[in-house]
């Protein structure tokens, strides 16, 4: 002990401990109280789910796996896949245009993104579906005229409801994806491009093997956000009466008036999709984090560790009973003479 | 590991309690299910039982038929009208929430549009000597679809208004009957005039005849120094239905057929009054086509032929809408004036 | 512009290398209105080791990067073994080449960066094999074998580690191996030890020292005056985009003729 400490707290802390000092953690009584209230509220809510017959779980059960709902679900997934895959492909091209040194390409991409971020998706789908209102015939003819056609066909027969929604969602998604991908590419250190160029790597290799995998780390979280959003975003298909999940559910409650149970059917399916996507996201992100020193442990591992830690800590606070504790106190007490007690 | 500490024991006990609660909840759920027995409201069977209508696709087989009306066929030929699809009359309507008994998708295939509006669609097509081609879309889409020539005709509870008459030709086939509905346990048992509506929150669609009725009532109430009714506008039918069921509004005021259907199907609402759709002016439901395309005269001939020969009355009777019969189908009848707002 | 270019020593090796001659003549480059290279001329013989020293912002790195056409220039010429990297000469003008052709020609000049710039998403081995494989020089199997040999040569054994799992010195050694994988005629070093902790500098310099003895042409931009003196055949002192003095290390680094060189050496030593 130095003199400084003696001066600072002479009475208590300089006393030689007569036995191993016990460490008492700060008790967070407030936290415990709040936690108890929250648990109570959650329990109450869960109970109401069961006890409140307005939730109509019987109706829920009847429709959850009904053909109409499953067909709708399939339509939703199909639209999501098309628009996300198509959107990210077009988006990648747009992002590359945006980063290109060509003023024209840059401007084209900028205006594309501006346009499709400005137009509500609902309006876009409606316009695609009714393209015949604006352009009654499409085909090949003399430019800037509409009376001479080499061949043409009526527009109304061109775009089905499905095509209108798929095109609308894809073009819409492309604008958002482009910005996400551009953000990812910009976040990659410029030195990477220099190094790849210095090695003489072809442009394609440079982009797909070097830049994109690194950009993916910042693209993925935002990208999965888009996918999850798009699953629900496909419900704009109602405007052209395309039976995706949400529309199918609406049609059913139009008949039987069981609004809440059928909305729950949709909600639970959306929750299932989101859950699956979240798990996929977690592992895909881990895959692209390769090369960073410490991969965070998986949630399963973390949960296991938290439980074991809690178990040990509870034992420790209690005193001597747990062997894990004795070994810890050993290191503390090794400086004092146990026999002197 | 050796002995378990007190706190570790506490944790174990807590876990056991939580598990027991969950198990108890599940058992309670099963019991609740059991006591409710099989008569869960909202299943397709119970809908069939609680309403007089068959909402399966078989319903379409029971539609009244009509032979081609020679005058109508001749008028169609003379008019120069060419249908979207050769030899077929494409008639569009909605099939979403709030549709029955006007237009819903059949409970067994989710594709066949059934209801009084679908019956009229087929009747008109047959009378013109064309095959009936069904089309289903959203309320927002039919106007563009008619104008872009995607559909020939719409029968979807479309009210004739002066604004719409600029874009479409109409041939009337029903008069509007409006109904007041309240929550089934509401103390309100009758809404017949302005005094009954005083101080109530009433759900109504904007830009409709029923809104005009309430606005007129409110003027009178305010003049007499009484509380006016508060108008609540919902764009979405299910939101309106939920608002009534959750007590957020006191009454709905809208087309009587759908209101009656909802009350019959789930018993959550009850009828408290009907108002003639002509109050204070006349409101007609009519089939609409693109203005000036020549189709409306043949359609009008068919409708009047059906009125004279009984098929018309048969259709209304099938859906319990005898009160809404018109004596004569009129081309472009007087419409609701443009709203002042 | 004075070029003090006396006493160019003969290459060290007995079997004198025949490839890797770099000729820079009357090179000028602007960044906007700022002239960063000002009529620079320098010839580096095959197998020669040349260090470029000078204060920060003097244009050393820019000069180095014009050699493999990572930087373009406004006037003058740079050739490797008589060929332009990024241009084709027609009459008195240089026409910029298409990218694919530039990439092909650039592969004969290796570049090692101050910040290593290893690809973090690839292992050490993949960092080395990506260029020879994607340029179709070697099959993946051949490239893997070569990568192992190169890693051994720079004193590394764990080929499957990612860059982030390596120390700075190890990363820079992988970067050198990566540059060597294409068998470049000329190897450029852009301050290869500046980003390293002091205790890691030696291991990288050892590798470069080895390379200096085997006859590859090396051009090194460095702050390590002692090292430059030890390995270089000639030292170039650059300031304000101009070559101020050039000659054997003993001359430039110990007894500079030009007062500005003397001033600089006095400050850094």
Per-residue pLDDT, B44: 61
| A60 lies in some domain | no
Considering only A137-141, B9-13, C80-84, C149-153, which range has the smallest mean pLDDT?
Answer: A137-141
CB-count burial class (<10 Å; 0-12, 13-18, 19+) for B169:
buried
Query: Do residues A130 and B144 lie in contact, with contact meaning Cβ atoms separated by under 8 Å?
Result: yes
Query: Do residues B142 and B94 lie in contact, with contact meaning Cβ atoms separated by under 8 Å?
Result: yes
Residue with more model confidence, B170 or C16: B170
**Mean pLDDT value of segment C50-63:** 90
**Whether A210 contacts chain C with CB within 8 A:** yes
**Statement: residue C117 has pLDDT above 80:** yes
- CA–CA distance, A209 with C138 (Å, rounded to integer): 18
Give me chain C's average pLDDT, please.
Answer: 86
Q: Which of B276, B309, B335 is the last residue of a domain?
A: B276
Per-residue pLDDT, B51: 61
- For B164, the domain range is 51-175+284-324
Contacts from A120-126 at CB under 8 Å and sequence distance 24+? A121/A168, A121/A169, A121/A172, A121/A233, A121/A236, A122/A236, A122/A239, A124/A168, A124/A171, A124/A172, A125/A164, A125/A165, A125/A168, A125/A169, A125/A236, A125/A237, A125/A239, A125/A240, A126/A239, A126/A240, A126/B140, A126/B141, A126/B144
Examine the domain organization and report whether B204 and B234 are in the same domain: yes
| B4 lies in some domain | no
Alpha helix (H) ranges present in C81-136?
Answer: 99-106, 124-134
**Statement: residue A16 has pLDDT above 90:** no
- CA–CA distance, B103 with B119 (Å, rounded to integer): 9
| B166 lies in some domain | yes
**Statement: residue B42 has pLDDT above 90:** no
**Statement: residue A323 has pLDDT above 90:** no
Per-residue pLDDT, B2: 54
Residue A214 and residue C121: Cβ atoms within 8 Å? yes
| A51 lies in some domain | no
DSSP string, A166-220: HHHHHHHHHHHHHHHHHHHHHHS-HHHHHHHHHTT--HHHIIIIIIHHHHHHHHH
| B40 lies in some domain | no
Q: How many Å lie between the alpha carbon of C247 and the closest alpha carbon of chain A?
A: 28
Per-residue pLDDT, A337: 38
CATH of the domain at A172: 1.10.3720.10
Examine the domain organization and report whether B198 and B254 are in the same domain: yes
- For A153, the domain range is 69-291
**Mean pLDDT value of segment C97-121:** 88
**Statement: residue A157 has pLDDT above 60:** yes
Query: What percent of chain A has pLDDT above 70?
Result: 84
DSSP class of B229:
P
Query: What percent of chain C has pLDDT above 70?
Result: 94
pTM above 0.90, yes or no: no
| A249 lies in some domain | yes
Q: Could you tell me which chain A residue has the CA closest to the CA of B142? A: A240
A14-28, B35-49, C10-24, C150-164 — which one is most confidently predicted on average?
C150-164
Q: Could you tell me which chain B residue has the CA closest to the CA of A44? A: B25
Residue C164 and residue A292: Cβ atoms within 8 Å? yes
Q: How confident is the model at residue C196 (pLDDT cuts 50, 70, 90)?
A: confident
Q: How confident is the model at residue B46 (pLDDT cuts 50, 70, 90)?
A: low
Total domains present in chain B: 2
| A252 lies in some domain | yes
Return the residue in A257, A267, A314 with the most chain B beta carbons within 10 A, the one to mutate for interface testing. A257
| B155 lies in some domain | yes
**Statement: residue A272 has pLDDT above 90:** yes
- B and C: touch, per 3+ CB pairs < 8 A? no
Q: Which neighbouring-strand residues pair with B232? A: B203
Per-residue pLDDT, B246: 83
What number of residues does chain B have? 341
ipTM: 0.83
Digit-coded pLDDT (tens) for B175-209: 878 889 999 888 988 898 888 988 999 998 877 77
Number of helices followed by number of strands (H, E) in chain C: 9, 12
Give me chain B's average pLDDT, please.
Answer: 84
Per-residue CA distances from A76 to A187, B113, B152, C173 (Å): 33, 22, 30, 52
| B43 lies in some domain | no
**Statement: residue B48 has pLDDT above 90:** no
Digit-coded pLDDT (tens) for B270-296: 889 888 766 766 778 899 999 999 999
* Contact residues on chain A for B21, CB-CB shorter than 8 A: 43
B contact residues 164-203, partner A, Cβ 8 Å cutoff: none
CATH of the domain at B233: 3.40.190.10
Q: Could you tell me which chain A residue has the CA closest to the CA of C66? A: A198
Residue with more model confidence, A286 or A139: A286
Q: How confident is the model at residue A129 (pLDDT cuts 50, 70, 90)?
A: confident
**Mean pLDDT value of segment A118-134:** 87
**Statement: residue A332 has pLDDT above 80:** no
**Whether C34 contacts chain A with CB within 8 A:** no
**Statement: residue C24 has pLDDT above 50:** yes
Residue A239 and residue B262: Cβ atoms within 8 Å? no
Interstrand relation of B201-203 and B230-232 (parallel, antiparallel or unpaired): parallel
Examine the domain organization and report whether B76 and B107 are in the same domain: yes
Residue with more model confidence, B25 or B126: B126
A250-259, B134-143, C171-180 — which one is most confidently predicted on average?
C171-180
Q: Could you tell me which chain A residue has the CA closest to the CA of C130? A: A201
Return the residue in C105, C121, C138 with the most chain A beta carbons within 10 A, the one to mutate for interface testing. C121
DSSP class of A136:
S
C135, two tokens: 């340029």
Q: Which residue has the tokens 């250190």?
A: A189
**Whether A201 contacts chain C with CB within 8 A:** yes
- A and C: touch, per 3+ CB pairs < 8 A? yes
**Whether C107 contacts chain A with CB within 8 A:** yes
* Contact residues on chain B for A237, CB-CB shorter than 8 A: none
Quote the strand ranges of A231-292, DSSP E: none
Q: How many Å lie between the alpha carbon of B110 and the closest alpha carbon of chain A?
A: 7
Return the residue in B7, B23, B27, B257 with the most chain A beta carbons within 10 A, the one to mutate for interface testing. B7
Q: For residue B220, what are the contacts with CB-CB under 8 A and spacing of at least 6?
A: B194
Examine the domain organization and report whether B92 and B157 are in the same domain: yes
Total domains present in chain A: 1
SS3 C192: coil
Per-residue pLDDT, A327: 42
Examine the domain organization and report whether B144 and B194 are in the same domain: no
Q: How many Å lie between the alpha carbon of C110 and the closest alpha carbon of chain A?
A: 7
Examine the domain organization and report whether B123 and B185 are in the same domain: no
Examine the domain organization and report whether B125 and B256 are in the same domain: no
């Amino acid at each position: 002990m130095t003199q400084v400490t003696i001066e600072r707290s002479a009475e208590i802390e300089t006393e030689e401990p007569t036995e191993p000092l016990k460490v008492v953690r700060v008790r967070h009584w407030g936290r415990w109280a709040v936690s108890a209230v929250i648990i109570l509220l959650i329990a109450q809510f869960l109970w109401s789910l069961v006890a409140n017959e307005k939730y109509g779980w019987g109706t829920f059960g009847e429709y959850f796996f009904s053909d109409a709902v499953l067909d709708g679900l399939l339509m939703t997934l199909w639209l999501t896949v098309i628009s996300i895959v198509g959107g990210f492909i077009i988006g990648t091209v747009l992002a590359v245009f945006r980063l290109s040194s060509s003023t024209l390409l840059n401007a084209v991409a900028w205006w594309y993104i501006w346009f499709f971020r400005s137009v509500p998706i609902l309006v876009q789908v409606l316009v695609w579906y009714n393209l015949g209102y604006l352009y009654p015939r499409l085909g090949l003819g003399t430019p800037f005229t509409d009376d001479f056609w080499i061949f043409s066909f009526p527009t109304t027969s061109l775009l089905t409801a499905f095509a209108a929604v798929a095109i609308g969602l894809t073009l819409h998604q492309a604008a958002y994806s482009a910005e996400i991908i551009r953000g990812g590419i910009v976040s990659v250190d410029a030195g990477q491009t220099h190094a790849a160029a210095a090695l003489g790597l072809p442009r394609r290799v440079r982009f797909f093997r070097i830049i994109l995998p690194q950009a993916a780390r910042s693209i993925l979280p935002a990208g999965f956000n888009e996918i999850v959003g798009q699953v629900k975003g496909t419900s704009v298909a109602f405007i052209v009466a395309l039976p995706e999940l949400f529309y199918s559910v609406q049609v059913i409650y139009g008949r039987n008036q069981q609004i809440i149970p059928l909305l729950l059917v949709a909600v639970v399916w959306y929750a299932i999709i989101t859950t699956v996507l979240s798990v996929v996201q977690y592992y895909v992100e881990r895959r692209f984090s390769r090369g960073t020193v410490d991969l965070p442990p998986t949630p399963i591992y973390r949960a296991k560790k938290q439980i074991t830690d809690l178990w040990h800590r509870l034992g420790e606070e209690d005193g001597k009973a747990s062997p894990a504790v004795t070994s810890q106190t050993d290191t503390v007490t090794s400086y004092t003479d146990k026999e002197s007690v | 590991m050796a002995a378990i500490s007190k706190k570790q024991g506490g944790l174990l006990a807590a876990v056991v309690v939580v598990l027991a609660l969950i198990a108890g909840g599940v058992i309670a759920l099963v019991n609740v299910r059991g006591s409710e027995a099989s008569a869960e409201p909202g299943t397709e069977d119970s809908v069939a039982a609680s309403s007089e209508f068959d909402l399966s696709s078989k319903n379409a087989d029971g539609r009244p038929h009509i032979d081609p009306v020679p005058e109508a066929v001749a008028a169609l030929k003379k008019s120069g009208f060419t249908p979207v699809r050769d030899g077929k009359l494409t008639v569009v309507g909605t099939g979403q929430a709030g549709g029955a008994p006007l237009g819903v998708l059949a409970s067994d295939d989710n594709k066949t549009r059934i209801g009084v509006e679908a019956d009229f669609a087929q009747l008109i097509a047959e009378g013109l000597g064309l095959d009936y081609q069904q089309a289903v879309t959203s309320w927002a889409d039919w106007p563009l679809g008619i104008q872009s020539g995607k559909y020939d005709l719409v029968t979807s509870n479309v009210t004739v208004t002066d604004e719409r008459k600029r874009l479409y030709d109409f041939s009337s086939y029903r008069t509007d009957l409006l109904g007041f509905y309240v929550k089934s346990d509401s103390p309100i048992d009758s809404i017949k005039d302005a005094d009954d509506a005083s101080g109530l929150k009433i759900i109504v669609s904007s830009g409709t005849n029923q809104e005009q009725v309430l606005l007129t009532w409110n003027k009178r109430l305010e003049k007499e120094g009484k509380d006016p009714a508060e108008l609540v506008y919902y764009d979405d039918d299910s939101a309106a239905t939920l608002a009534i069921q959750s007590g957020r509004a006191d009454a709905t005021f809208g087309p009587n057929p759908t209101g009656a259907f909802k009350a019959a199907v789930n018993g959550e609402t009850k009828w408290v009054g009907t108002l003639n759709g002509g109050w204070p002016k006349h409101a007609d439901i009519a089939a609409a086509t693109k203005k000036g395309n020549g189709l409306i005269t043949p359609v009008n001939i068919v409708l009047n032929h059906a009125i004279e020969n009984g098929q018309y009355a048969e259709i209304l009777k099938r859906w319990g809408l005898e009160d809404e019969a018109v004596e004569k189908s009129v081309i472009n009848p007087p419409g609701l004036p443009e709203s002042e707002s | 512009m004075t070029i003090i270019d006396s006493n160019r020593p003969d290459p060290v090796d007995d079997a004198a290398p025949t490839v890797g001659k770099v000729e820079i003549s009357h090179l000028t480059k602007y960044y906007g209105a700022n002239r960063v290279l000002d009529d620079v001329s320098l010839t580096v013989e095959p197998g020669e080791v040349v260090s470029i020293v000078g204060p920060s912002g003097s244009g050393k790195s820019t000069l180095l990067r014009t050699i493999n056409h990572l930087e373009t220039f406004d006037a003058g010429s740079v050739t490797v073994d008589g060929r332009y990297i990024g241009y084709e000469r027609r009459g008195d003008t240089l026409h910029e080449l298409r990218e694919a052709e530039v990439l092909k020609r650039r592969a004969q000049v290796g570049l090692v960066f101050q910040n290593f710039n290893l690809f973090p998403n690839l292992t050490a081995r993949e960092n080395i094999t990506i260029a020879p494989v994607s340029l179709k020089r070697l099959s993946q199997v051949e490239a893997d074998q070569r990568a192992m040999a190169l890693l051994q040569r720079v004193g590394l054994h764990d080929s499957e580690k990612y860059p982030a799992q390596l120390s700075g010195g190890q990363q820079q050694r992988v970067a050198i191996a990566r540059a060597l994988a294409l068998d470049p005629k000329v190897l450029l070093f852009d301050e290869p030890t500046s980003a390293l902790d002091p205790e890691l500098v030696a291991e990288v310099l050892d590798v470069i020292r080895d390379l200096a003895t085997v006859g590859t042409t090396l051009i090194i931009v460095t702050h390590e005056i002692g090292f430059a003196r030890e390995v270089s055949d000639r030292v170039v002192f650059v300031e304000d985009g101009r070559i101020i003095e050039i000659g054997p290390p003993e001359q430039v680094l110990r007894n500079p003729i030009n007062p500005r060189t003397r001033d600089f050496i006095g400050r850094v030593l």
